[in-house]
Structure 1
Amino acid sequence: MTRPVVMPTALRRARLQGLLLVLALLALTVASFISLDLQWGQMFSAESARSMGRFVGEFFPPDLSPEFLRRVAWAGAETLAMSALGTLLAALAGLALALPAAHAPGQRQALLRRPVRWLLNLLRSIPELVWASLLLIAAGLGPMAGTLALALHTSGVLGRLFADALENAPTASVLALRAQGAGRLQVFLYASLPEVLPQLISYTLYRWENNIRAAAVLGVVGAGGLGQMLSFHLSLFQMGKTAALVGAMLILVLLVDAASDRLRRALA
C-alpha cells in the first residue's frame, strides 16, 4: 500500500502566502472600484460619444505645410536626441550604482549595498515629469532639463535591473577567478560582465523605447522636443497642427521600436 505524499512545510507555507497575496490584491481591486466615483454611464452615453466625435473631427485635416513639417522634424530629432542621451547617461550611472548594490557571490554583505539601493529606489520613485519640473529651475526651459530628468529616473530603473542581473548571474566563473587571486575589477570585467552583457543591453534598449514616449511628454512642462510644440499648439486649439504632431510622435515611436527590436535580435 502506497503512502500518501506529504507536502513539505516550506512549500505549503509558500502556497499559503501566494494565496493570501492574491486574495489581498482582489480585495484591493474591489475596494478601488467601490471607493472611486467612476462615471461609467456618463462616459459611454450618446452625448459623450457625440462630443468625442466632434473633438476628433477637429483634428482633420492635419497641417502638412512644408514649413511646419520642417519644425516638426527638428523637434522630433530633438526628442530622439533627448531620449538617446538620457538613456546612455542612465545606463552608465545605473551600471556604476549596480556594482555596490549587487551582492557579490563569495563575499560578505557590502556596507554600501543598502544605501545604494535606497538611492536607486529614490531615483525611480520620482516620475520624469516631476524631475523635469524640478530641473527647469536649475537648467531652464529646453531639452537640457528633459535629458537630465530622463537620465535620473532611468538610472534608478536600470540600476536596480542591472543589480538583480548581476546577483542572478552564474557564479562558477566568478568563484574560479576569485580563487586564482583576481581582483574585484578583473572578476567583473572577465566573469560577471560577459555573463550579463546581453541582458544589460536588452534592458537598456527597452528603457530607450520607454524614454522616447517620456521625452515626448516632458515637453508639456517646457522640456523641449515634440511635447513642447504639442503643448503650445494644443493650448491654442490648433487641432490641425496638433494632429500632425501626434502623427510624428507615433512615427518616431514606431521607428525606435523597430530599430530596438532589430538590435535585440542581432544581439541574440
Structure 2
Amino acid sequence: MSTPVRDPAALPRLGWTLLALVLLWPLLRLTDFRPAALFEAGNLQAMGHFLGGFLPPETAPEFLAMLARATVETLAMATAGIALSMLLAVPLGLLMTRSLSISRLGPGRGGWVGQILRGLARGVLAVLRGVPELVWALLFVRVFGLGAAAGVLALGITYGGMLGKVYGEILESTDARPARILLEAGSGRLAALCYGLLPNAAQELVSYTVYRWECAVRASVVMGFVGAGGLGQLMDQSMKMLNGGEAASILATFLVLVLAADGLSGFLRRRLA
C-alpha cells in the first residue's frame, strides 16, 4: 500500500493564508465592517420597506419614452468616451511597450531616448487614470453645463489612462519573438505590432476594451448624478421624487445593458479565436 504523497507547498500556503487573515482583520475593524448588522430586525424592516417601493416598475408610455432617450444618451456617452480614450491609450500604450523598442536590439541605437519616452508615457498614463472620472465630470460640467459632453470628456481622460496602461502590459506579456524577428529584419514598429504582437494579443485586447466599455456604461450612470445626463440623471430625479417604480425600470434597463455588453464581448472573442 503506497503512502500518500504530501504536498510540499501546503505549509507555505497555510502560512500565507494565516498572514493574510491577520492583516485583513484590523482593516475590517477599521472600516467598521459588520455583516451581522444586515440581519438585525430593524435593518431588515428598513431594507424591505425600501425595496418594496420599487414594485411595480413604472411602465407609463411617457416615462418609457424618457427612459429610451436616456438609455441612448448613456450608450452614446460611454461609446464616445471609450473612442476618445482609445485615441489617448493606443499611442501611449505602444510607446511604453518595450517589445517594440528598436533600441533594444543592440548598442548604439539611442536606448536612453527610448527609456525616457517610455517613462514619460507611464507618467502621463498615471496622471490620466489617477484622477477619478467623477472629479473630471464635476470640472467639465462647470465648463460645458449639464449634459453628456462633460461625461464623454471625463470618461475619455480617465479611461485613456487605464486602457493605455493595460494595453502596454498585455503587449508586454505577449510572446515577443515574432515582433523581435521582424524588427531585426528591418521592419518598422507598426509592422512588428500588426504581424508580431496583435495576432496573439487581439483576443485579450478586445475583451478588455469591451469590459472597459461596460465599465464606462456604469460610470456614465454614476456621473449622471452630477449632471452629466443619461440614465444617472434620470435615476437621480426619480430617487429625489421617491419614485421607486421609475428607479426599478431604470435599474432593469441598466441590467440589460450590462448583459448586452457581456454578450458582445463573448461574440467578439469567438470571432477572433
When residues 238 and 112 of structure 1 are mapped into structure 2, their CA distance, relative to the original with a 3 A threshold, is same
Q: How does 1:35-74 map to 2 (within 5 A)?
A: 35-74=30-69
**Could you tell me which residue of structure 1 aligns to residue 193 of structure 2?**
188
2:155 maps to 1:150: yes
Moved more, 156-165 or 19-28: 19-28
Tell me the alpha carbon deviations over residues 208-258 of structure 1, each in whole angstroms, 9 at most, x when there is no partner: 122121122211111111010001110121222222211211122222222
> RMSD between aligned alpha carbons?
2.5
When residues 135 and 67 of structure 1 are mapped into structure 2, their CA distance, relative to the original with a 3 A threshold, is same
2:15 & 2:98 partners in 1: Cα distance? 30
Tell me the alpha carbon deviations over residues 153-177 of structure 1, each in whole angstroms, 9 at most, x when there is no partner: 2111111111112222222222222
User: How many residue pairs align between the two structures?
Assistant: 254
2:177 maps to 1:177: no
- Answer yes or no: is the 8 Å Cα contact 1:100–1:110 preserved in 2: no
2:213 maps to 1:218: no
**What's the CA shift for 1:41?**
4.8
Query: What letter is aligned with 1:61?
Result: P
Query: 2:54 is paired with a residue of what secondary structure?
Result: coil
Tell me the alpha carbon deviations over residues 92-143 of structure 1, each in whole angstroms, 9 at most, x when there is no partner: 3211111111213534352111221122122223222222112212222111
2:118 & 2:212 partners in 1: Cα distance? 24
- Answer yes or no: is the 8 Å Cα contact 2:210–2:261 preserved in 1: no
**Could you tell me which residue of structure 2 aligns to residue 95 of structure 1?**
90
Identity of aligned residues (%): 38
- Answer yes or no: is the 8 Å Cα contact 1:209–1:260 preserved in 2: no
1:245 counterpart (246, 250, 259): 250
2:144 counterpart (123, 136, 139): 139
1:121 & 1:24 partners in 2: Cα distance? 31
- Answer yes or no: is the 8 Å Cα contact 2:174–2:201 preserved in 1: yes
Question: Which runs of no fewer than 5 residues in structure 2 stay unpaired?
Answer: 1-10, 106-110
**What's the CA shift for 1:22?**
6.1
- Answer yes or no: is the 8 Å Cα contact 2:206–2:268 preserved in 1: no
2:33 maps to 1:33: no
- Answer yes or no: is the 8 Å Cα contact 1:202–1:264 preserved in 2: yes
Moved more, 115-124 or 152-161: 115-124
- Answer yes or no: is the 8 Å Cα contact 1:124–1:156 preserved in 2: yes
Query: 1:79 is paired with a residue of what secondary structure?
Result: helix
2:215 maps to 1:200: no
2:234 maps to 1:229: yes
1:82 & 1:215 partners in 2: Cα distance? 7
Query: 2:157 is paired with a residue of what secondary structure?
Result: helix
TM normalised by structure 1 equals: 0.85
TM normalised by structure 2 equals: 0.83
When residues 61 and 195 of structure 1 are mapped into structure 2, their CA distance, relative to the original with a 3 A threshold, is closer
Moved more, 100-109 or 161-170: 100-109
When residues 195 and 264 of structure 1 are mapped into structure 2, their CA distance, relative to the original with a 3 A threshold, is closer
1:126 & 1:20 partners in 2: Cα distance? 37
Question: Which runs of no fewer than 5 residues in structure 1 stay unpaired?
Answer: 1-14
When residues 139 and 27 of structure 1 are mapped into structure 2, their CA distance, relative to the original with a 3 A threshold, is farther
2:79 counterpart (72, 77, 84): 84
- Answer yes or no: is the 8 Å Cα contact 1:142–1:223 preserved in 2: yes
Query: What letter is aligned with 1:51?
Result: A
2:17 & 2:117 partners in 1: Cα distance? 34
